[in-house]
Structure 1
Amino acid sequence: MAEARPPPLLSAAAIWRVADLLRGGMEPAEYGPVILVFTMLRRLELSRARPARWLDAVARAPDPLACLDRLTNRLPGVVRDIISQLEVMPLARRLARADLLGGLAAHFTALDLSPARHGTEAMARLFEELVHHFADTRRTGAHFTPPEVTDLMVDLVFAPDGPGARHNLYDPAAGTGALLGRAADRLRQRGITVDLFGQEISHRACALCRADMLLRGRAPGQIVCGDTLAHDGHAGRRFARMLSNPPFGLDWRHIRAAIQAEHAQGHAGRFAPGLPRVADGSMLFMLHLVAHMRSPRAGGARIGVVTHGAALTGGSADSGESAIRRYLVEHDLIDAVIALPADMFVNTGIATYVWILDNNRPAARRGTVRLVDATGLWQRALSGGGEKRREMTSYHIDAVLRACTVDAAMDVLLRDGADGAPVAWQVLAHDAPTPDGAADMRRTPFSCLLPGREFLYRSLMVTRPGRDGAPVRTAFRVGMEHDPQAWFSQMIRPYDPDARLDTTRTATGCAISFARYFHHPVPLRPLQEIEADLRRSMARLVALMPGGEPTADP
């Protein structure tokens, strides 16, 4: 069922009207920053008890640039800091040189962008549209968090909390504050109060986040500007609740020296368990979050973090990625992992997952990990942008939340429409019979509860002489229940007497494979049907050859 959305802050048509004003005077790559800056200025002036008319004054002034400069100098220091981070004056100077500043100010003066009418949801949608139209986030790996993914993480991370609860909420990759702001709004509806903290590397995004905090009556100073991995802006602080969507595939070679130095500190630093490859630092954010968890004695902490698929299975047994996963499993920190539908994010169609980490789980759930395959719960996006073609509804979120809280495996019944989107679905217990009237729906596993140590494995190295005398090495992955020598004696030696087990290269790895538990085999076609298809294809090929004659399909 489609859900009603709030009106957009700026529709796609309105965005392009602003772009038309800028065309010829500004580079297309600057359209997004200009729109964000003037949107935030308009929201700031409308947020006052007595709305200001800064942009109107700029539009009417003979010298718009000088007028804007005078107005900004009169603002409170915290607002001036935000304007400085937004690089308002450098953008304004370029607009003034192109004789666009006054006209643009007049255009935004006529728009009702007040925070009272358009909240965080609307600002998040605007950011999504601007990313789609003007930004290239593929290079950085930064991707806007869809609102429904934020809702899912909030509901899972705050599942143990009831009305009256109060926590500090932290995001180490805060962006423009959309995730923190939407989380605060959703929690307020449940009677839960959160104090917001964050850090963001982009000066402009950090300024927008601080402006959003200011509009909410929060402390902008609790959003730190800087590289979270290289310089922890909240060092020494511990948080009870954390949410984050860190960049996918983040290259960290430019801060490698600082990261390796902290890794060498062992448990005195954040990165003791291991270091992933320099081409993908997303798991460094996971270690950073774990380092900021409130201790179990103080009540513990819960984390919701989005990753791509490489965080689950990437790397060999002796890789940093595997070492990090092994640390999380052996310290019983993984509560659940949820596979999201594809094409949920703007400007990327890769598979994404939500991890829920908890260092103070109930005794009944310790030592286990819940896997949920929610890839089949989606509907067509009402207004797709970039690769965002799918979205989850509140009903889908409720189904995932239920699967993560019950102590039994569950299945899902799906009926696909002509375009592949599910037109009907139902979640039920794994041991429940298929209801009457659902015989035409396909039934697949939806969730399972597994021992955490099931994700551990041994990597065994078998060598044998090559043709040129050099040893040929082959790695085998076997379960922890197998004794290496007994496995080798049974599985390799009878078939290759020259092979040897290199015990010096035996390693323990960790991988969380959804395909292992949620494989959906496609029934094989009958041989006669395949043969008939081949004959028809061959007949058509013969008809296309010189001198060939058309033949009727057999």
Structure 2
Amino acid sequence: MNNSKLPIFQENNINISNEVSMVWSIANTLRGAYRADKYRDVIIPMFVIARLEAALLSTKKQVADAYKENQNTPKQVLESISGYKYYNTSEYTLKNLLDDPDNIKINFETYLEGYSDRVQDILKSLKFSTEIDTLAKSGRLYGVIKKFSEVVPKLSPNSVDSIKMGYMFEDIIRRFSENEEAGSHYTPREVIGLMVNLLLAGADDSLFQDNKEIKILDMAAGTGGMLATSKSYIEQLNDKVNVRLFGQELLPETYGIGKADMLIRQDNSDNFVNADTLKDTDPFKDIQMNFVVANPPFGQSWGGKDADDGVEEAVKADNAKFVQTEGREGRFVDTPGSGDAQFLFHLHALSKLEENGRAAIISNGSPLFSGGTTSGESQIRRYILENDLLETIVALPGQFFYNTGISIYIWLYSKNKPTERQNKVQFIDATNEYVNLRKSLGQKRRELS
């Protein structure tokens, strides 16, 4: 794409302080029944439920009436009435549950059971059923439902779009997750915006023709923020393209939030799956992507006693398949040190790109510098360079992420470099391109200038 024609997309400053403070105040009502580090087990599922209900409110009665008249009504009909790929057949809402406080627990469970299969999958991943008993026994259930019933009208998709909702999810989970391992949660939105701009700046013009299908993968998707932002930016460039999003997320809780957001955004939530990228069969095996955008976990073990069951065997088998077929099958040309799987995610991304595909991946310094000349890391770097897959590495400022102050890099890959970039790698030092935040957000003290 001609860089001179490409707008630089930025999201307007989005103020979420009132909404997040409101949710945070609800958490304070759990004191005594929950330890502070367990508030999230209630607040995050209830926030998701409130958002799901907010989207359905305008059609809720019609769906309930149709189901009451004929309980065999096809789900496609109920989805058509609801306007979304999910629905709730219960006559209850969070608000009218309050009319019968003596039966609040059983009625709330009936309300949740009224949601369709896709939402049941989300609720299961959030493991919320076990919390309902605790809330009821501690006398907190009525109060929590009452508080969230007041939040519902403020979460309508008509007033809170997916971008603002993403910021809210991000900030709420950040507050409950400040002790999480570095790199295990959220990439700041301005960093995602930079990554997408870099991808688009070098993309083929033909991608953006009207009605063109653009496929985007995030194989370490978290709650889907990178996918949502990527789609938003591309549609600002041309709203007549068909953007299809594909996400994989291992952690059940973040998977549940991401799938809920996909449902409400009217994206195909069936393409947001709970899967281990390193171990499980590729859920999108026959689909090659135009873009891959990802922030894989830093320092995640893939081998040894700290690895999840089955991961080491799967990685080694994939590597053996790559070696035996001379790269025609398998993803992993070699294996890095067992204590850090970042390069495995890079190689997975490259295996998923179509012939003109591009990828932007966040990493810490380890893939750049770790390993001696005979190490797996060195052999992976050699493979990437000899096949001319690496276009650019951008060094970002430190203190950019919510839960780590370490240095961060964007690796920009291209399967089809333009002639002037072939057999070259561009290094961009952007470590001074920042402004200080007026107030720190966890360990994030800076943002892009």
Q: Which interval holds the TM-score relative to the shorter structure?
A: 0.7 to 0.9
- Residue aligning to 2:263: 214
Counterpart among 121, 125, 129 of residue 89 in structure 1: 129
Provide closer, same or farther for how the CA distance between residues 137 and 369 of structure 1 changes in structure 2, counting only shifts above 3 A. farther
Deviation at 1:12, TM superposition (A): 5.1
The one-letter code matched in structure 2 to 1:361 is K
Query: Could you tell me how far apart the structure 1 residues matched to 2:438 and 2:264 are?
Result: 29
Counterpart among 317, 328, 332 of residue 261 in structure 1: 317
Provide closer, same or farther for how the CA distance between residues 256 and 137 of structure 1 changes in structure 2, counting only shifts above 3 A. farther
Query: Could you tell me how far apart the structure 2 residues matched to 1:180 and 1:10 are?
Result: 26
Query: Could you tell me how far apart the structure 2 residues matched to 1:3 and 1:269 are?
Result: 40
SS in structure 1 at match of 2:56: coil
* % same residue: 30
Aligned-pair RMSD on alpha carbons?
A: 2.1
Counterpart among 177, 197, 202 of residue 155 in structure 1: 197
The one-letter code matched in structure 2 to 1:202 is L
Deviation at 1:127, TM superposition (A): 3.5
1:57 and 2:127 aligned: no
Provide closer, same or farther for how the CA distance between residues 35 and 115 of structure 1 changes in structure 2, counting only shifts above 3 A. farther
The one-letter code matched in structure 2 to 1:5 is N
Query: Could you tell me how far apart the structure 2 residues matched to 1:32 and 1:189 are?
Result: 34
1:281 and 2:341 aligned: yes
Deviation at 1:257, TM superposition (A): 1.6
- Residue aligning to 2:7: none
The one-letter code matched in structure 1 to 2:245 is L
Residues 499-543 of structure 1: per-residue CA shift (max 9 Å, x gap): xxxxxxxxxxxxxxxxxxxxxxxxxxxxxxxxxxxxxxxxxxxxx
Counterpart among 166, 178, 182 of residue 225 in structure 2: 178
Deviation at 1:264, TM superposition (A): 1.0
SS in structure 2 at match of 1:170: strand
- Residue aligning to 2:295: 245
The aligned runs of 1:432-511 (5 Å cut-off) are none
- Residue aligning to 2:82: none
Counterpart among 8, 13, 29 of residue 16 in structure 2: 8
- Residue aligning to 2:420: 364
SS in structure 1 at match of 2:346: helix
The aligned runs of 1:265-414 (5 Å cut-off) are 265-266=321-322, 267-294=327-354, 296=355, 300-393=356-449
Residues 473-498 of structure 1: per-residue CA shift (max 9 Å, x gap): xxxxxxxxxxxxxxxxxxxxxxxxxx
Provide closer, same or farther for how the CA distance between residues 137 and 286 of structure 1 changes in structure 2, counting only shifts above 3 A. farther
Equivalenced residue count is: 388
- Residue aligning to 2:253: 204
Deviation at 1:4, TM superposition (A): 5.4
- Residue aligning to 1:46: 54
Unaligned runs of 5+ in 1: 394-554
User: Contact conserved, 2:55 with 2:156, CA < 8 A, in 1?
Assistant: yes
User: Contact conserved, 1:346 with 1:387, CA < 8 A, in 2?
Assistant: yes
Query: Could you tell me how far apart the structure 1 residues matched to 2:156 and 2:298 are?
Result: 33
The one-letter code matched in structure 1 to 2:351 is A
Deviation at 1:44, TM superposition (A): 1.0
Deviation at 1:101, TM superposition (A): 1.3
The aligned runs of 1:98-137 (5 Å cut-off) are 98-111=138-151, 112-136=154-178
Query: Could you tell me how far apart the structure 1 residues matched to 2:124 and 2:337 are?
Result: 36
The one-letter code matched in structure 1 to 2:163 is E
User: Contact conserved, 1:123 with 1:178, CA < 8 A, in 2?
Assistant: no
Query: Could you tell me how far apart the structure 2 residues matched to 1:64 and 1:388 are?
Result: 41
User: Contact conserved, 2:178 with 2:402, CA < 8 A, in 1?
Assistant: no
Query: Could you tell me how far apart the structure 2 residues matched to 1:169 and 1:66 are?
Result: 42
Unaligned runs of 5+ in 2: 1-9, 61-91
Query: Could you tell me how far apart the structure 2 residues matched to 1:187 and 1:324 are?
Result: 31
Between Structure 1 and Structure 2, the one with more helix by share is 2
Deviation at 1:84, TM superposition (A): 2.1
Provide closer, same or farther for how the CA distance between residues 145 and 139 of structure 1 changes in structure 2, counting only shifts above 3 A. closer
Query: Could you tell me how far apart the structure 1 residues matched to 2:194 and 2:419 are?
Result: 24
Residues 204-252 of structure 1: per-residue CA shift (max 9 Å, x gap): 2111111111101121110111211101322232111111011111112
The one-letter code matched in structure 2 to 1:148 is E
User: Contact conserved, 2:302 with 2:341, CA < 8 A, in 1?
Assistant: yes
User: Contact conserved, 1:335 with 1:358, CA < 8 A, in 2?
Assistant: yes
1:194 and 2:243 aligned: yes
SS in structure 2 at match of 1:46: helix
Query: Could you tell me how far apart the structure 2 residues matched to 1:91 and 1:186 are?
Result: 38
The one-letter code matched in structure 2 to 1:128 is E
User: Contact conserved, 1:170 with 1:198, CA < 8 A, in 2?
Assistant: yes
Task: Flag the structure with larger Rg.
Answer: 1
The one-letter code matched in structure 1 to 2:248 is Q
SS in structure 2 at match of 1:372: strand
Q: Which structure ranks higher in relative contact order (CA pairs < 8 Å, sequence separation ≥ 6)?
A: 2
Query: Could you tell me how far apart the structure 2 residues matched to 1:252 and 1:11 are?
Result: 39
